[in-house]
Amino acid sequence: MANGTGVPRLIACVPNFSEGRDQAVIEAIAASIEAVDGVQLLDVDPGAATNRTVMTFVGPPALVIEAAVGAGRKAAELIDMEAHSGEHPRFGAMDVCPLVPVSGVTLDEAADYAQELGRRLGDDVGLTVYLYEAAASTPDRRNLAEVRSGEYEGLAAKMADPAWAPDFGPVEFNPRSGGTAVGARGFLVAYNINLNTTSTRRANAIAFDVRERGRIKRIGDPLTGEIERDEDGEPVWIPGTLPGVKAIGWFIEEYGVAQISMNLTDIEVTPVHVAFDEVVARADARGVRVTGSELVGLIPLQAMLDAGRHYLRKQRRSTGVSDTELIMIAVRSLGLEELGAFDPNEKIIEYAIAARSDRSVLLVDRTVRSFVEETASESVAPGGGSASAAAGALGAALGTMVANLSAHKRGWDDRWEEFSGWAERGKACHDELLGLIDADTDAFHEIMSAHRLPAATDEERAVREQAIQEATRTAIEVPLRVMEVSLAAMDVVEAMAEIGNPASVSDAGVGAVCARAAVLGAHLNVRINAGDLADDEAREVALARADELRRAAIEREAEILDLVSERL
C-alpha cells in the first residue's frame, strides 16, 4: 500500500536467530516467513562459527509484523538455547528483531510498529521481549549491548532485577527461548573485515582502536596496568576513531582467519569504505594486513555507489560511470569476494527487491530491439513520450561518455576532476530519463484506467472526472520533466563540445541532436495532454513552460553544433 505521494510503504525486518548450523531449522524458519503472501524474503545468511543466521525480509508493515511473529514462533519451537554456543553475543532463540524503514515509513512509525511486534511476540508467542533503539521504553534500553549484557547465561539474574523487567511477555526466565530484543533503527550494516592473522587478541586490539566506545584506559601498561577511574569511580574510556561503529575481534574457524566484526549503525556518519580504510590503517600499524571483507545480510545501493566513487577518486579516475562499474570497483576494493561470491542481486537491498519483483513489464529493462519492436506494434504505448525520454537518455549518455573519455585522456591528468564532475552531472540526467521512459507509459495507462471507471451515477461521474484530471496532470508533468532534464543534459554536451576530447567532438554533436529531439518530442506530448486539462490556469502555465523549454533547446542545439563544427 502506498502513501499519499505514491511511494510504497515498506519496512524491512532483520531478525537474527541463534542457529547457524542446522539447515533444517533454518529452512523451517525461512519457510514461515515466506508463507506470508506479500512479504519478500531477500536474504538468509547463516554462520557456522557464530551459530547464528541473519534473515532479511521486506513488505508492508502489517504483513512484515505477521511474518516476524510466525518466525519468532518457529524459532521458539525449534531452537533450544540451553544447548546453544557460538562466537556472537546472544541471549535468545530469536535474538534480535529490528524493523528498518525502507520507503514511505518514518523511523518514528517504525518504532510504533516495533512496539506492536513486541507485544505480539510476548502475548501470542510467549517470548520475553525487550524494546531497544528507537522503540526503547526507557533511555537506558536504547543500546542493544546494554539490553543483551550478560547474554543468555546472565539473563535469569538480570530478569530478577525489577529495573530489567521485560517490556512484553513472561517475566519468568524461559531457559529454552531466552530473551528477544525488538527495535526500530536505520539501516545497520553488519560488516566483517578479514585479517591475515589467527590471533583474536590482535583482532580485538584493532577493534578497540576503531570502535566508537574504544577501550578502557589503564595507568602504565595498556594491557595489565591498573584501570584509571573518574571521580565517580567509573572506568575512563579512550574513544575509538569511528563514530557509530561497534566492533569486536574473533577467530572464524571455518575460514581459518581472525576478523573485525563490525556493526555500522549509521553509514552516513561512517560509511563502509571509511570503516574499511581505517581498519587497514590501524591493522598496518600493528603489523597485521587486511585481506578482504564480507557483508552479513544486505547493504543499501547508495553505500556501494559511494564506496565505488571513493576508490575511483583515489585512482584519480572519473566517477561518472555506470552503477554496475561503481559496484564492481567497490567489491574489488573492499575484497568482498574473498570468502565467497558477491551477487549484487542478493546483497544490495534495492536490487534484491527488484529481483523478486516482476520487472518483465518495464520498458527500460528490455533490449533495444524489444523496445523498438514494442513501440512499432499495434499497442498504443509506449509512444512518443517514452521515445522522447529514451532519446534524451541517449543524448545525456553521449555527453557523459565524452566527459569520461576526457577524464582518462593521456596528458590531461590534471583535469580529471573537472571532467569527472561533468560526467556525474550527465549520469544523473540519463539515469532520471531512463526512469521517465516507463513513467510516461504509466501515465498514459493511468488515463486509460480513469476513463474506464464507472459513470452510471452523478457520484461515479464525479469520481471518474477527478481521476481523469489527476491522471492528466501526471501525463503533463512527466513530459515536462523530460524536457527539463534533456535541456539540463545539454549543459554537459555543450561543455564537452567546447573542452572535451577533440576525438569525440562529433559524439557531443550527436548528443545535442538527441537532447533537442527529446525536448521537441516531449513538447508535443505536453500540448496534446494539456488539451484535456480542465484547469485553464494550470494548462496555460504548463504550455508556457513547455514553449520556453522548446525555444531554449533549439537555441542550445544550434550553439553546440557551431562549436562542434569549429572543432571538426
DSSP string over 403-415: HHHHHT-TT-GGG
Alpha carbon separation from 261 to 43, 360, 535 (Å, rounded): 19, 39, 59
CA 501 from centre of chain: 35
Asked if 310 is an active-site residue, the reply is: no
Considering the candidates 43, 45, 438, 440, report the single residue annotated as catalytic.
440
- Residue identified by cell 564480507 is 294
Phi-psi region of 58 (alpha: psi -120 to 50; beta: other; left: phi over 0): beta
Contact between residue 79 and residue 15 where contact means Cβ atoms under 8 Å apart: no
Alpha carbon separation from 528 to 9, 478, 521, 540 (Å, rounded): 34, 13, 11, 13
Give the 3-state secondary structure of residue 384.
helix
Interaxial angle between packed helices 200-210 and 272-285, expressed in degrees from 0 to 180 and rounded to the nearest 10 = 120
Give the 3-state secondary structure of residue 306.
helix
Contact between residue 336 and residue 293 where contact means Cβ atoms under 8 Å apart: yes
What is the gyration radius of the CA atoms in the chain, in angstroms?
Answer: 28
Bridge partners of 296, per DSSP, are 190
Give the 3-state secondary structure of residue 322.
coil
Side-chain-facing half-sphere of 249: CA atoms under 13 Å: 22
- Residue identified by cell 532463540 is 93
Amino acid identity of residue 337, one-letter, is: E
- Residue identified by cell 519457510 is 31
Contact between residue 86 and residue 145 where contact means Cβ atoms under 8 Å apart: no
d(CA 411, CA 414): 8
Asked if 88 is an active-site residue, the reply is: yes
Q: Which three cell numbers stand for residue 52?
A: 547464528
From the list 98, 97, 90, the residue with the least C-alpha distance to 178 is 90
Considering the candidates 43, 88, 167, 523, report the single residue annotated as catalytic.
88
Q: List CB contacts of 100: < 8 A, sequence separation 6 or more.
A: 11, 12, 13, 14, 110, 184, 185, 186, 187, 188
d(CA 463, CA 49): 60
Active-site residue list: 88, 440
